[in-house]
A and B are shown apart, each in its own frame.
Chain A
């Protein structure tokens, strides 16, 4: 298969500033590669991620969305990720319920020290999205260029 023809998914990763964004930095400074399909958006905390952002990403053509935060119990703001955990569980369950492949969304807790985990997670996630193919069900053809 030629590189040009390979499906290049669009993947949005929301990373909390304190743990996961730092974990991604560590993955970077440790040169732990993962595909360029992943683009990171920095948010202060996983609890800042509004379901609207996730749906918006899908609307605009994202093929996968991953939210990374501090491990439960280690949130910089003490409790933010606990709220995020409930919100995302319910949202993902709803997306699954309406027939969206549940592999397109993921939450992973990655600490600032887990560069390896960050890179592994992203590699896995990209593999998963590649296997799922383009996001047709939630995509909005109108918005895709």
Chain B
């Protein structure tokens, strides 16, 4: 973390960048938040630790409009989102100075809480420099421990790899934390009967409060104005009066980012209701991989996305019914 801060100071001082896009200390030990830093003094609040899950690439859309360059900190998986935004002409590569920061998996406070650890005062083992595999958590009820891996975000268990796909310089080591199959959850649902599937999603989606956190955090959901806010489809945001609304919203949201979603997992991370929203996006990714060939959005900034492309002998839609 110190290395990042020193480098940021240097870049600010020598005028390479006008500001730094990173994370600052939050009001609790586990909720750092995205922030701009314009001076060396600001950087005193800079933090980079196991709780800095937030993907900063989307902030670059606005930062691209600002005067001067912005130093942006991207974790390996964030860099995919950034690349995708370049492909879509949403961010200006020339306005960004990308510092690829090391990552050894990010933590999910909800998992810690679910483990029955409440009243947290401080957590150690979350710094990038810590080699510890165990989190030591001080709580008002006494000291607790939890293994780092058990507290990781779902997305880190299916990590895309420790390499950044775009950067200007790298600071810190990364670790591939993949220890689960990416599509295992999807396959489990696919194997359910239609009734079970329906009940599963009904239960999950009925929790949705349409707070739009998923939409706001999603780097692919970067429309100036969402169709659910505009009058173009007679779909402007309505109160959540029926179960269909969420289905429609989440299906369309997933469809609109299909072929563009890098599977960064931010939607699930920020959902205050804990809805596993990545299950929608990842289903599309799985289908795309199976039907049209392996595709990872954001792996490059040039290739055609699967929904703006085709082959003459693509599968027919009847494949859905045929595979049962």
A-to-B contact residues, CB < 8 Å = 50-52, 55-56, 58-59, 72-73, 79, 82-83, 85-103, 105-107, 137-142
Contact = CB atoms under 8 A, between A and B. Distances in A.
Contact of A89 (B233, B283, B314): B314
B292 A101 contact: no
Nearest to B321: A102
Contacts of B258: 90
B229 interface: no
Contacts of B233: 50, 52, 56
Given A94-B254, A99-B202, 7 more contacts: A83-B308, A90-B258, A90-B288, A94-B284, A98-B201, A99-B192, A107-B317
A72 to B, nearest CB: 7
Given A90-B258, A97-B190, A99-B196, A82 B320 contact: no
B171 interface: no
B242 A86 contact: no
Contact of B255 (A51, A58, A142): A51
B275 to A, nearest CB: 13
B308 to A, nearest CB: 8
Contacts of A55: 247-248, 251-252
B101 to A, nearest CB: 34
B317 A92 contact: yes
Contacts, number: 114
Most buried by A among B252, B255, B312: B255
A142 B241 contact: yes
Nearest to B201: A98
Contact of B283 (A52, A56, A82, A94): A94
Most buried by A among B196, B199, B200, B321: B321
B307 to A, nearest CB: 6
A141 B242 contact: yes
B310 A93 contact: no
B183 interface: no
A100 B320 contact: no
A123 to B, nearest CB: 17
A24 B56 CA distance: 52
Contacts of B252: 51-52, 55
A139 B288 CA distance: 28
Contacts of B198: 98-100, 137
24 contacts: A51-B251, A51-B255, A52-B252, A55-B248, A55-B251, A55-B252, A82-B312, A83-B310, A85-B315, A86-B291, A89-B317, A90-B258, A92-B320, A94-B254, A98-B198, A99-B192, A99-B195, A99-B201, A100-B198, A102-B321, A103-B321, A138-B247, A140-B242, A140-B244
Contacts of A100: 194, 198
Interface string B223-261: 000010000010100000111110110011011001000
